[in-house]
Amino acid sequence: MWLFIQPNDAIFLRDGRAFDAGGNLYAGNLFPPYPSGCYSMIRTLLVHQVSTTVDYSKNNFFNAVPEEYKALLGNIDQKGNLSVKGPLIGKKDDAISLYIPAPADLYYKKPEDIKDDVDWYLLQPKKDHLLNDFSDLDMPFLESGFSNDALHKELKPAEYYLAGGALKKYLEGQTSDSHLMSALINQNNITAKLWESEPSTIIEREDSNLTAKKHQLAYPEFTRMKEDTGLVLQVSDDLASHFKDVHIARLGGENRMCHVSKGEIRPIVDTQKIIDRILDTGRFKVILLTPGFFRHNGYYPDFLTPPSGYLPEGEWHVNGHTKKVRLITIAVQRALRIGGWNLAKGVPKTMVKAVPAGTVYYFEMVDFDPNKDKDWITSLVQSAFPGTLPGDIDYCKQGFNTFFTGGWNYV
């Protein structure tokens, strides 16, 4: 079941950097919110729905949760069974169209004439060299590049969100070449304006004469989503009875209100095409839609064994099927620092280092056999719109590690 979260007003979301009026004047703006923020919003909404009273004083928030809901909602120290995937960005009319962060392997070349089409290219692994060959750092992955390396200096990473036909073609991996598609922007499949930032000013006044206090000035930025645009979460169908109507919940600083309602998603891809693509090659890629958190291995999933001179490998369990896979390489940007506020305890959350949304992981199956591995591939693809890349269970429940899967081939 999908939930559509539409803010009623501009919302205040910021990153985990220290911020104090009069000291650091500019609060770090953040959008979309980290998964933990939306998870906490839904969890809080459910606590209000099932409890006769809610006590916001320290350590008492879950006290009135009925016994039958304690397994779902947990307590002040432990997450319950509640699990979400997302948040993603969605635009709603008769159905919801999903937008995903630009994948880190998608590049474009600006035309010399602004009237010409934009050409798009895919970064892809090469078979030739490990990155260890070029560095004294521990980088056990294959080098990546383009089919025409002469273009490398002319290409820029995609900056916008992907949706519609562009998203479909990207995930289905319809090209074996690095050239992906053209005229993408003209087809309105990529948009840069799903929301906009609004500057704001905060001052603190003297009680006696209401003049501004010295060193108590700050400039936070608010985010206003465009009309019919909102955040999208996937939750268990078991929660359908709790979302028969439109509900009001609060998100971000200043407790700005949002409408929360059920919604239907437009079909994203033909999953059979992706299954067939992976069956042809034994290779698939995972595109993170939300930040990823891996407690032990940092940038790559913990189920992969740290390599001894070669590429990380490990067994991936999907719906009762198991297959050993090998991580070939990663397209990734700088790590995030993610924290937040623990509403129930009234203290900051632990700050963790996370992999940014848009990161792409390139996998291939070890000892690939299309006949024997068909069931595993089918299970993976069918559970991956969206899926959850294995990781720390508490963070996965909150929506971290949400992914789509697609096909790829070597340059």
Average pLDDT over residues 285-310: 87
How distant, in Å, are the alpha carbons of 1, 35, 40, 237, 292 from that of 395?
20, 9, 12, 20, 9
pLDDT tens for each residue of 59-77: 788 989 999 999 999 998 8
Q: In what order do the strands lie in the sheet with 96-99?
A: 96-99, 84-92, 229-235, 2-7, 256-263, 247-251
Query: What pLDDT was estimated at residue 151?
Result: 75
Average pLDDT, rounded, for the chain: 85
Residue whose token pair is 């930025």: 221
Q: Tell me if 382 sits within 8 A of 404, measured CB to CB.
A: no
Band of residue 19 on the pLDDT scale cut at 50, 70, 90: low
Q: What is the pLDDT of residue 177?
A: 42
Tell me what the mean pLDDT of segment 229-253 comes to. Answer: 93
Residues 376-391 pLDDT 10s: 999 999 999 999 999 9
d(CA 292, CA 280): 28
Q: Between 279 and 58, whose confidence is greater? A: 279
Q: Residue type at 56? A: Y
Phi-psi region of 338 (alpha: psi -120 to 50; beta: other; left: phi over 0): beta
pLDDT greater at residue 330 or residue 252: 330
Residue 392 region by backbone torsions, left for phi larger than 0, else alpha for psi between -120 and 50, else beta: beta
Task: Give the whole-angstrom CA distance, residue 386 versus residue 288.
Answer: 10
Is residue 293 pLDDT above 90, yes or no? yes
Q: Residue 136 — pLDDT band, cuts 50, 70, 90?
A: low
Residue 201 burial (C-beta neighbours within 10 Å; 0-12, 13-18, 19+): exposed
State how far the Cα of 401 lies from the Cα of 330, in Å rounded to an integer: 15
Tell me the average pLDDT across 196-213.
78
pLDDT in tens, 339-365: 877 777 778 888 889 999 999 999 999
Q: Do 370 and 282 form a contact (C-beta atoms < 8 A)?
A: yes
Q: Between 136 and 89, whose confidence is greater?
A: 89
Distance CA 282, CA 50 (A): 47
pLDDT (0 to 100) of residue 329 = 93
Find the mean pLDDT for residues 30-46.
Answer: 92
pLDDT > 50? residue 24: yes
Is the model's pTM score more than 0.75?
Answer: yes
Q: What is the pLDDT of residue 325?
A: 96
> For the segment 90-113, what is each residue's pLDDT rounded down to a tens digit?
999 899 999 999 899 988 877 776
Distance CA 26, CA 60 (A): 34
Could you tell me the two tokens for 249?
């919940």
Q: How far apart are CA 358 and CA 44, in angstroms?
A: 28
Kindly report the three-state secondary structure assignment for every residue of the chain.
CEEEEEECCCEECECCCCCECCCECCCCECCCCCHHHHHHHHHHHHHHHHCCCCCCCCCCCCCCCCHHHHHHHCCCCCCCCCCEEEEEEEEECCCEEEEECCCCCEEEECCCCCCCCCEEEECEEEEEEEHHHHCCCCCCCEEEECCCHHHHHHCEECCCEECHHHHHHHHHCCCCCCEEEECCCCCCCEECCCEEEEECCEEEECCCCCCEEEEEEECCEEEEECCCEEEEEEECHHHHHHHCCCEEEEECECCEEEEEEEECECCCCCHHHHHHHHHHHCEEEEEECCCECECCCECCCCCCECCCCCCCEEEEEECCEEEEEEEEEEECCCCEEECCEECCCCEECCCEEEECCCCEEEEEECCCCHHHHHHHHHHHHHCCCCEECCCCHHHHHCCCCEEEEECCCCC
* Domains of the chain in sequence order: 2-98+193-263 (3.30.70), 100-191 (no CATH), 271-406 (2.60.40.4350)
What's the pLDDT at 323? 97
pLDDT digits (tens, 9 = 90+) for 169-199: 888 865 544 344 443 433 344 455 788 888 8
- C-alpha of 154 from chain center: 28
